[in-house]
Amino acid sequence: MTERARIAVIGAGIAGLACATELSALGVAVTLFDKGRGVGGRVATRREGSMHFNHGAQYVTARGASFRALLDFLVADGAAAPWPAAGAGRWTGVPGMSAIARHMAAECGAEVRLGQQVLFLRDDEVGWLVRVVPAKSAFPGEVLDEGGEVERFDAVLLAIPAAQAAPLLQAANHPFGEVVSAVEMAPCWTMMAAFAGRVDAPDVQRYEEGPLSWVARESSRPGATEEPDRWVVQASPGWSRRMLERDAAEVGTMLLGAFVAATGAQEAPLHTATHRWRHARTEQPLGEAALWDGERRIGVCGDWCLGARVEAAWTSGRALAALVADRPVELELEDAAPG
């Protein structure tokens, strides 16, 4: 790729941001598309009125020196901090997880277009045609070669969940579609609840069986407000899969009941909300840091390439950028380790 190349990166999660940062530093013009209202993907913080809930990835860890250096930079800038309640070696964004992604986006050097869903990709002898529509006018995961606007890029990089990347690749008649389809990701139902009084329970609890997987008090995070007493409750992968298509209100009621049973909460919540992550945690990764077809100028990256960690997403995004730039992909053993 030359410095004058224009590259579209689809997905402004951690992988997409990391990839865009590396390519922008080389002088490449990068445009990031994301269907969400903010950057970060599953590294997310949700606003409910005046309250905030970290309803996606709960924390980050660093196994490799390179990612640890990024965390040190974020800590120095006040965008991240250790989260003692979650255990040693775990960091959170400050005041919420989305601060990590926002800080990365501000430094990435790319044009970021939010609320934009890519519907279709088509390559020709000149480059790639990317069809984009406002996300509010499209169904999640929809693949359709009509409507919206079409823009040409020299290359396209997909930094979205495997289940969303595969249909776009298949529609573009690219063999990566079949390869990516083998990746398995588990869903996760998440409930957010706020209470007027403090729930007498440990700040963080992890469960090995039953409907719950993780329960955390939001005020235990550095920089978080104390009141009201806010909790994030995440269901186990198996339970989430069984309940995947159930009504959100019904799922929320069941998760609230499980939370009460687990914590002994006495009062009714002031507020509850439920969110379904269809593609939350990698169970069967791709096994490669990223994929790049230099002849047709298309590539894919994401945490699902290596494992279910934020660091894996960052590593994968940087690896794809190295492949695009025709540079050696140098991964630390800790970075590449799955799980």
Q: What is the pLDDT of residues 246-295, one digit of tens each?
A: 999 999 999 999 999 999 999 999 999 999 999 999 999 999 999 999 99
pLDDT at site 141 = 84
Q: What is the CATH number of the domain that holds 30?
A: 3.50.50.60
Cα separations (Å) of 241 from 67, 188, 233? Answer: 31, 8, 16
Residues 195, 179 share a domain: no
Give residue 97's pLDDT band: very low, low, confident or very high (50, 70, 90). Answer: very high
Q: What is the CATH number of the domain that holds 208?
A: 3.90.660.10
Residue 163 has pLDDT above 90, yes or no: yes
Residues 263, 166 share a domain: no
Residue 102 domain flag? yes
Q: How confident is the model over 315-336, as pLDDT tens digits?
A: 999 999 999 998 877 776 455 4
Among the three residues 265, 283, 301, which one is the final residue of a domain in this structure?
A: 283
Residues 24, 141 share a domain: yes
pLDDT at site 332 = 63
Give residue 140's pLDDT band: very low, low, confident or very high (50, 70, 90). Answer: confident
Residue 339 has pLDDT above 90, yes or no: no
Dihedral angle over CA of 236, 240, 242, 248, nearest 10: 140
Residues 291, 279 share a domain: no
Provide, rounded to the nearest whole percent, the portion of the chain with pLDDT above 70: 96
Q: How confident is the model over 9-39, as pLDDT tens digits?
A: 999 999 999 999 999 999 999 999 999 999 9
- Please give the mean pLDDT across all residues of the chain: 94
* Element at 162 (helix H, strand E): helix 162-171
Residue 73 domain flag? yes
Q: Mean pLDDT lowest for which of 2-11, 57-66, 245-254?
A: 2-11
Residues 298, 239 share a domain: no
Dist. CA 98–CA 102, nearest whole Å: 6
Give residue 338's pLDDT band: very low, low, confident or very high (50, 70, 90). Answer: very low
Reference 188, options 141, 238, 260, 263; nearest CA is 238
Residue 300 has pLDDT above 80, yes or no: yes
Q: Calculate mean pLDDT across residues 72-88.
A: 96
Among the three residues 283, 303, 326, which one is the final residue of a domain in this structure?
A: 283
Angle ∠(50,12,294) on CA atoms, nearest 5: 175
What one-letter code names the amino acid at 94? V
pLDDT at site 333 = 45
Residue 81 has pLDDT above 90, yes or no: yes
Please state at what angle helix 310-324 crosses helix 14-25, rounded to 10 degrees.
Answer: 30
Among the three residues 239, 259, 283, which one is the final residue of a domain in this structure?
A: 283
Residues 173, 215 share a domain: no
Residue 1 domain flag? no
- Greatest CA separation found in the chain? 66
Domain that holds residue 219: 184-283
Dist. CA 196–CA 230, nearest whole Å: 9
Residue 330 domain flag? yes
User: Edge to edge, what strands does the sheet with 111-114 contain?
Assistant: 111-114, 29-34, 6-10, 155-158, 298-300, 291-293
What one-letter code names the amino acid at 17? L
Residues 147, 262 share a domain: no
Give residue 306's pLDDT band: very low, low, confident or very high (50, 70, 90). Answer: very high
Residue 337 has pLDDT above 60, yes or no: no
Reference 17, options 289, 320, 293; nearest CA is 320
Model confidence, pTM: 0.94
Residue 2 has pLDDT above 80, yes or no: no
Residues 119, 10 share a domain: yes
Residues 143, 128 share a domain: yes
Residue 324 domain flag? yes
DSSP string across 13-81: BHHHHHHHHHHHHTT-EEEEEESSSSSBTTS--EEETTEEE--S---B---SHHHHHHHHHHHHTTSEE
Residues 67, 169 share a domain: yes
DSSP label of 297: T
**Total structural domains in the chain?**
2
Tokens 């009201």 -> residue: 228
Reference 186, options 244, 232, 254, 233; nearest CA is 244
Residues 326, 179 share a domain: yes
Q: Could you tell me which residues are beta bridge partners of residue 92?
A: 81
Residue 177 domain flag? yes
Q: How confident is the model over 181-229, as pLDDT tens digits?
A: 999 999 999 999 999 999 999 999 999 999 999 999 999 999 998 899 9
Residues 201, 89 share a domain: no
